[in-house]
Structure 1
Amino acid sequence: MKLFAYAAVALTAMSVAAAADALEDRQNLMKERGSLMRILAPIAQEKQPFDAATVLDALEKMNANAQATTDVAALWPEGSNTGDTESSPKVWEDMAGFQAANDKFAADTAAAVAAAPQDLAAFQAVFGPVASNCGSCHEAYRM
């Protein structure tokens, strides 16, 4: 009986640790995403000069970031909805919708990289959907 109790305590501790790791992982990914948006958005808004190499580098990093969040069940597991999180409860209530939003973001960032924009107009055309994903996801799934 003691063995069962120890196993239950260990399993609970591992679940809490996994949720904490997932929370930290997703926060780091979102911070990186925000820093990349602070590079790309001013260029798209013509507040910074267009530089194809800078844009492509940031888009490639954004795409890698987006691909890292495609397994939302791993980054937003049950039990990671408490603590220092800005994720809305809707994430866990509508995991399929949240997964679809993440998949769309990943597809749009991949398309932006594949386009390899060489001028401002081409960049703005591919960046619009990427930025739109951020806004719509924040409205629906962020507190």
Structure 2
Amino acid sequence: MEAALSYNITNDTEHRQAIAQMIALEKDNENGKNEDRINEIGDAVVKYEESQGHTPEPPRTLQGILEVEMYKRRMNQRALAKALEITETRLSEFMRGKRELNIDLAKKIHVILGIDGNIILELTTNAELLEKNVKGMQLTQPSHSEWDYLRKPL
């Protein structure tokens, strides 16, 4: 068993090498044998990127949050529609801005994906309508940054 190594990235060259190493390890990751090393290097990459100001801005739309969720869960739009128990067409229209968010979809996003109800309301153009009609959503002020959930692993 390989001993845990401390991985530290101090410049852009090491950053590129670390990413290349992660990709190579991922390709040869039968039965998760490289998982610990991939996570260790990944943590070092994130730490370096954050220290250099490379962190992306949080999504500013509900559609953006859903895109992040699809990425985190390794889902395509079809799989997300199935998870939310809606048609692919309905999700596609919502994602493209052709359809407004309704109460049913807002509740499913909250319950199934675990997205804070406050964030859904804040990012919705007709928040007043939703606030009056939503039942079963916990509308409490979060004690943490609104975007912390994006950094949490699934």
TM-score by length of 2: 0.27
Q: Which has the higher contact order (CA 8 A, sep 6+)?
A: 1
Q: Which has the larger radius of gyration?
A: 2
Higher helix share: 1
